Amino acid sequence: MKYLDEYRDPTAAQMLLDEIRRVSTRCWTLMEVCGGQTHGLLRHGIAAELQGTVELIHGPGCPVCVTDQADIDFACQLAEQPDVIVTSFGDMLRVPGSQGSLLDARTRGGQVRIVYSPLDAVELARKQPGKQVVFFAVGFETTAPATALAVKQAAQYQLDNFSLIVSHVRVQPAMESLVEAPDNRVQAFLAAGHVCTVMGYESYGRFVDRYQLPVVVTGFEPLDLLEGILACVRQLEAGESRLENCYSRAVQGAGNRSARDLVHAIYQISDRRWRGFGRIPAGGLSLQEQWKRFDARVRFSDCGLPVILSTECRSFDVMTGQLKPPDCPHFGKQCNPETPLGAPMVSSEGACAAYYRYAGV
Amino acid sequence: MENQQQNMTGSWQLNCPVEIPAETDRVTLAHGEGGRLSRKLIQERIVSVLKNECLEVSGDAARLPRIAGSLALTTDSFVVSPLFFPGGDIGSLAVYGTVNDLAVSGARPLWLTLSLIIEEGFPLLILDRVLQSLAEAASSTAVKIVAGDTKVVPRGAVDGLFINTAGVGELTEPVPPGPEFLAEHDELVVSGPIGQHGIAVLAAREELQFDPLPHSDCGSLLKAVEQLRGALGDRICCIRDATRGGVAAVLQEWAESSGLTLSIDERRVPVSPGVRGMSELLGLDPLHIANEGTMLIAVRQGAGHEAVSVLQTLSKTADARVIGIVKARGVAPVTVKRTLGPEQPLHDPLGSPLPRIC
């Protein structure tokens, strides 16, 4: 299949693996930021192949995993209101909140629907004027243009029955908070290719200058990942810290200008609570004042039940690279995809899910 | 409830290939009350299409002739949404699903029962279309629909039309012994490209634009099973049509029954470009996606290629392949070797739920 098979070619992958081993004089510690990359590294056995040459720390780039539990609780609460339909990407449904997941809310009679695009939620609101349709807007900068477009469309149609729970997060502030942590071990970053497709990578220039760490924009297929790792290792071996783009078939320096413009027209940068991390300054997006009428938190009051966090889930340690999922005492036992303790076990980009699914035999 | 309301205004009208005039005749609650309208519906629209010598309208039970062999009995309910999808519809699905269950169990399908649960307001034109498709599927597999029931429920109580069929077949020797009798070195064969049905239904339901549009594999496995059993006889250990949960679910069940490890090579599993592309895009694994006319066969050591040769003589199973082998129980009950990387455990389907696929 075009654009797929050539990036999964076993011979080329082997050559890159050999080259990474050849140029490494010591074991380097890299962080792949995005959960999609974590899954690629485990699914294709790259993390295991490079054991001893490169340690891959799995980053916080799973938006479902870092969505604040208070937002999940709010979504569940809304779903159980009469005449409210909560719509969401399928991934969010199984993530546990204080009183269970959205799937549990649906079992209790709540109205929860999976949509494949936020625009489908706008369509649903048009078809069902008697219902309030709420879209659970999660994701990094990758999904923000689509939810921004949904807001724009809802405004055009003058819908007063469509709103968003805005849980968009921004990748770079989270990377900064990781690097600034006293126990940081990350020596170079594989930046998330899809986020850069939208936002570009120029803004990483300041990050590289400030922290003197290599940042390599990296894709998701095996050869993309291996090229990204090789570029990091080469820089580290040469004592360099540069910004490099190894995903040039999809990413341009300035990103996708029309998508960016759309995001800038609807959202503003704001502080956000990340599940496990706490408040990250400039860590999220929120609706600008003139679009606040589409904010579900403005339209509906939160009954403010206390957020009950799982005391057993170690997902924060996993997401900050302190703990590998199989080393968690609950992994695969008390915590599994049917009865997850935390989001990383059920999100399609979660690190625990990746180990559960792909861990070698 | 919400889902039903939306579908009431949408799905069968949007997805049905038949143009429905605004002022069309529709099923009413009176059609299900047992009076004149009920009799008219059954006589004129159902029995007339399905007629055969065993179908007695006036009796409460079908009277069936004596047969020589032991019997196999199965039942299945069909709630697929949308009712029509590329490659099939709920009518053909309701026949092939039950016929295939009998065929892969080692039986020659003989008789079916048919229960229709119809939502008030359902267009009669669409009901005719479904029944026509059902009759054609029954005729093509030489099964007779010998008993049935029709219920009409108020708007919102079902989504358009639900169907249940039960089937009786005669077991023919040698009956495949079943997955408990799997042995090390047995070979695993898949009869054709996987994931077609689930992706076709999903694409139709979500109105996803793909070119070419994936078609369901919805169809009868009867002929393929007959030829295979004729050629391989007792070298077949077990056969299963890989419906909900896909090939992965069958492998899991077989591994559980046998206590062995079933190991497949992803690179050998036939997957069409359409299904592969859409699975990549949606983050699905074709091994987890439902089929409705594709089966998994376990044969004794050395018989895999012969099974494939037999299947490849039929157009429906021309892409049959040996995809794996049975081993002593390792760390995981089912393993998969992918294009790159080590052998991995293959779990039951999780993640993105695909409800109402059949």
Q: Which residue of B has its CA nearest to A44?
A: B341
| Residues of B with Cβ-Cβ distance to A90 under 8 angstroms | 351-353
Q: How far is A207 from chain B (nearest CA, A)?
A: 32
Asked whether residue B164 falls in the same domain as residue B309, the answer is no
Asked whether residue B137 falls in the same domain as residue B224, the answer is no
C-alpha distances in Å from residue A294, one per residue of A164, B172, B252: 6, 65, 46
Asked whether residue A127 falls in the same domain as residue A145, the answer is yes
* A19 within a domain of the structure (yes/no): no
Q: What is the CATH number of the domain that holds A119?
A: 3.40.50.11740
Q: Is B332 on the interface with A (CB under 8 A)?
A: yes
Residue B8 clears pLDDT 70, i.e. is over it? no
Residue-range definition of the domain harbouring residue B211:
179-345
A193 sits in which H/E element: helix A193-199
Asked whether residue B158 falls in the same domain as residue B210, the answer is no
Asked whether residue A91 falls in the same domain as residue A217, the answer is yes
Asked whether residue B25 falls in the same domain as residue B65, the answer is yes
A197 sits in which H/E element: helix A193-199
Which tens digit of pLDDT belongs to each residue from B234-250?
A: 999 999 999 999 999 99
Asked whether residue A44 falls in the same domain as residue A67, the answer is yes
Which tens digit of pLDDT belongs to each residue from A157-216?
A: 999 999 999 999 999 999 999 999 888 999 999 999 988 999 999 989 999 999 999 999
Q: How far is B273 from chain A (nearest CA, A)?
A: 7
Interface test with A, best of B263, B266, B340, B344 (most A CBs within 10 A): B340
Residue-range definition of the domain harbouring residue A321:
315-358
Asked whether residue B192 falls in the same domain as residue B286, the answer is yes
* Per-residue confidence band for B135, with pLDDT thresholds at 50, 70 and 90: very high
Q: What would the mean pLDDT of B295-312 be, rounded to a whole number?
A: 98
* B355 within a domain of the structure (yes/no): no
Asked whether residue A134 falls in the same domain as residue A216, the answer is yes
Q: What is the CATH number of the domain that holds B275?
A: 3.90.650.10
Query: In this structure, which amino acid lies at residue A111?
Result: Q
* A9 within a domain of the structure (yes/no): no
* A6 within a domain of the structure (yes/no): no
Question: Mean pLDDT, chain A, as a whole number?
Answer: 92
Residue B14 clears pLDDT 50, i.e. is over it? no
pTM: predicted TM-score of the whole model, two decimal places? 0.85
Asked whether residue A259 falls in the same domain as residue A323, the answer is no
Neighbouring-strand partners of residue B165: B76, B114
Q: Could you give the 3-state DSSP secondary structure of residue A34? A: strand
* A182 within a domain of the structure (yes/no): yes
Asked whether residue B22 falls in the same domain as residue B47, the answer is yes
Residue B53 clears pLDDT 90, i.e. is over it? no
Asked whether residue A283 falls in the same domain as residue A258, the answer is yes
Asked whether residue A154 falls in the same domain as residue A245, the answer is yes
Q: What would the mean pLDDT of A287-309 be, rounded to a whole number?
A: 85
Q: What would the mean pLDDT of B64-69 be, rounded to a whole number?
A: 91
Domain end position, chosen among A295, A313, A331: A313
Asked whether residue A125 falls in the same domain as residue A29, the answer is yes
Q: What would the mean pLDDT of A80-85 be, rounded to a whole number?
A: 94
Residue B13 clears pLDDT 60, i.e. is over it? no
* Per-residue confidence band for B7, with pLDDT thresholds at 50, 70 and 90: very low
Q: Alpha-carbon distance A239 to A355, whole Å?
A: 32
ipTM value greater than 0.90: no
Q: Which residue of A has its CA nearest to B278?
A: A1
Question: Residue B345: which of A48, A348, A361 has the nearest Cβ?
Answer: A361
Residue B351 clears pLDDT 60, i.e. is over it? no
- The tally of domains found in chain B comes to 2
SS (H, E, C) chain B: CHHHHHHHHCHHHHHCCCCCCCCCCECCHHHHCCCHHHHHHHHHHHHHHHCCCCCCCCCCCCCCCCCCCCEEEEEEEECCCCCEECCEEHHHHHHHHHHHHHHHCCEEEEEEEEEEEEECCCEHHHHHHHHHHHHHHHHHCCCEEEEEEEEEECCCCCCCEEEEEEEEEEECCCCCCCHHHCCCCCEEEECCCCCHHHHHHHHHHHCCCCCCCCCCCCCCCHHHHHHHHHHHHHHEEEEEECCCCHHHHHHHHHHHHHCCEEEEEHHHCCCCHHHHHHHHHHCCCHHHCCCCCCEEEEECCCCHHHHHHHHHCCHHHCCCEEEEEEECCCCCCEEEECCCCCEEECCCCCCCCCCCCC
Task: Determine the pLDDT at residue A160.
Answer: 95
Residue B11 clears pLDDT 50, i.e. is over it? no
Asked whether residue A190 falls in the same domain as residue A64, the answer is yes
* B356 within a domain of the structure (yes/no): no
Strands A132-139 and B236-241: unpaired
Asked whether residue B302 falls in the same domain as residue B203, the answer is yes
* B193 within a domain of the structure (yes/no): yes
Residues 205-224 of chain B whose Cβ lies under 8 A from any Cβ of chain A: 206, 208
Task: Determine the pLDDT at residue B6.
Answer: 37
Cβ–Cβ below 8 Å for B341 and A91: no
Question: Mean pLDDT, chain B, as a whole number?
Answer: 90
* A2 within a domain of the structure (yes/no): no
Asked whether residue B186 falls in the same domain as residue B91, the answer is no
Q: What is the CATH number of the domain that holds B48?
A: 3.30.1330.10
Asked whether residue B246 falls in the same domain as residue B158, the answer is no
Asked whether residue A100 falls in the same domain as residue A44, the answer is yes
Residue B1 clears pLDDT 80, i.e. is over it? no
Asked whether residue B273 falls in the same domain as residue B252, the answer is yes
Higher pLDDT, B254 or A178: B254
Cβ–Cβ below 8 Å for B351 and A4: no
* A16 within a domain of the structure (yes/no): no
Cβ–Cβ below 8 Å for B335 and A361: yes
Task: Determine the pLDDT at residue B76.
Answer: 97
Q: What would the mean pLDDT of B304-327 be, rounded to a whole number?
A: 97
Asked whether residue A255 falls in the same domain as residue A324, the answer is no
Domain end position, chosen among B150, B171, B192: B171
Question: Residue B341: which of A45, A85, A116 has the nearest Cβ?
Answer: A45
Asked whether residue A118 falls in the same domain as residue A167, the answer is yes
Domain end position, chosen among A313, A328, A345: A313
Asked whether residue B140 falls in the same domain as residue B268, the answer is no
